[in-house]
Amino acid sequence: MQNIHSDQAGSPANHYDVIIIGAGAAGLICAIEAGKRGRKVLMLEHTDQVGKKIRISGGGRCNFTNIHATPDDYQSRNKLFCVSALTRYTPQHFIALVDKHKIAWHEKKLGQLFCDGPAQQIVNMLVSECEAVGVTIRLNYDISSVKEDANFLVESNQQPVTSDSLVIATGGLSIPKMGATGFAYEIASQFGISVTQTNPGLVPFVFNGQEIEFYKRLAGVSIPCTATCSGVTFAENMLFTHKGVSGPAILQISSHWKNNNKVHLDLLPDFNLLSHLKDQQTARPKVELATVLSALLPANFVKAMCEKTFTNQPMNRFSLKDLTGITNTLKDWTIQPDGTEGYRTAEVTTGGVDTKDISSKTMCALKVQGLFFIGEAVDVTGPLGGYNFQWAWASGYCAGQYA
């Protein structure tokens, strides 16, 4: 442990009750809550703006919560860790804040709540709440070190500052060009706190080699499906891209994918394809397979499959074994991606600061009094659809009660 020797840092003007590093979703809510308790709060952000990810989220409309969010929806090494925070700060709490600021919103689908207008409204709301409780926000703040003795000392390209509590709200590794860094993991390691394996989540799959040509020619084609991997299934659309596959079903399943895993896609969920093909064979024996399948699936996809995998011929030429094979291919289309687009485009980072070293009630590190970790930095990851912001709000709220 190092002693803090800095006259500037020691001066009351540079001492805060709480310093929060990272002015994203979790940090902003935490600042508001700590400020409401009368704490003198300083937020430090290394980019030139607060809430950059909020601005671009939800296609610019911010999918700010999901009314169906429950702890069961989240992945973490300790699935029970998020229960306390998500129970104490629910989607209804955030909706009440949005309503207080008269921000119009709507449910798009599956409980996903979006702003009617720009996502910037959510950032403005959070900043005005921070202002109302006297939070100081400093931008372009390049932190060079964090030290701990009686207080926390944060050194940077600006004057050193000290605090009683230090909240790490710097998010995960997703989208470095928006300001993402591994700062939270570095601080965790510095203080002897474990970090679980991190991976890009909610991210498109890519294919290399010859296979990519198949995907490229179908870029833009979307198919409703179920995607299954590692025992988890999502029912949504998949989308072909120039590099492989994306779309909600693929993004969702990517968070559960590990290198070399196979992903199983049912391209006609809840539909008895074999029975349909047999019926068509009887009713329209001279009609070609491509015509039959094009009534069920996008014609471009059927054409590509007929060139690659199936023989396109009149239905009466297929044996039962052939029809069973076609059914299996479309109802259990198995892909083995070469990788993902990585942190460059991933919406989240799975894994993070290990929940075994953090209090689920306060978000404070068990080994280091006054050091808190919140938001995406922590090993709690939600699916697509407003769940990750809900975790950021809930964990930020909890830390704000104790920091």
Ligand X SMILES: Cc1cc2nc3c(=O)[nH]c(=O)nc-3n(C[C@H](O)[C@H](O)[C@H](O)COP(=O)(O)OP(=O)(O)OC[C@H]3O[C@@H](n4cnc5c(N)ncnc54)[C@H](O)[C@@H]3O)c2cc1C
Size of the site for ligand X (CB under 6 A): 38
For ligand X, which residue of 14, 16, 27, 154 counts as binding (CB under 6 A)?
27
Count CA within 13 A, CB hemisphere, residue 381: 33
State in angstroms the smallest separation of the CB of 391 from ligand X. 7
Helix (H, G, I), strand (E, B) or coil at 260: coil
Residues 112-151 touching ligand X, rule: CB under 6 A, are 143
Instruction: Give dist(CA 25, CA 180) in Å, integer.
Output: 13
- CB of 29 or CB of 206, closer to ligand X: 29
- Under the binding rule (CB under 6 A), the answer on residue 233 touching ligand X is no
- Under the binding rule (CB under 6 A), the answer on residue 53 touching ligand X is yes
For ligand X, which residue of 185, 389, 397, 402 counts as binding (CB under 6 A)?
389
- Under the binding rule (CB under 6 A), the answer on residue 380 touching ligand X is no
Nearest-CB residue for ligand X: 24
**CB-based contacts of 354, cutoff 8 Å, min separation 6:** 77, 188, 193, 194, 195, 196, 379
Kindly tell me the burial class for residue 99, based on how many C-beta atoms sit within 10 Å of its own C-beta (0-12, 13-18, 19 or more): exposed
- Under the binding rule (CB under 6 A), the answer on residue 91 touching ligand X is no
- Under the binding rule (CB under 6 A), the answer on residue 352 touching ligand X is no
Residue 148: count other Cβ atoms within 10 Å of its Cβ. Answer: 17
For ligand X, which residue of 39, 52, 147, 331 counts as binding (CB under 6 A)?
52
Residues paired with 9 in a beta bridge:
none
Let me know how many helices (H) and strands (E) the chain has, helices first.
Answer: 14, 19
- Under the binding rule (CB under 6 A), the answer on residue 21 touching ligand X is yes
Element (H, E) at 156: strand 152-156
Residues 158-197 touching ligand X, rule: CB under 6 A, are 169-171, 174-175, 179-181, 183
Positions that interact with ligand X (CB under 6 A)? 21-27, 44-47, 52-53, 56-58, 62-63, 143, 169-171, 174-175, 179-181, 183, 347-348, 375-377, 386-389, 392
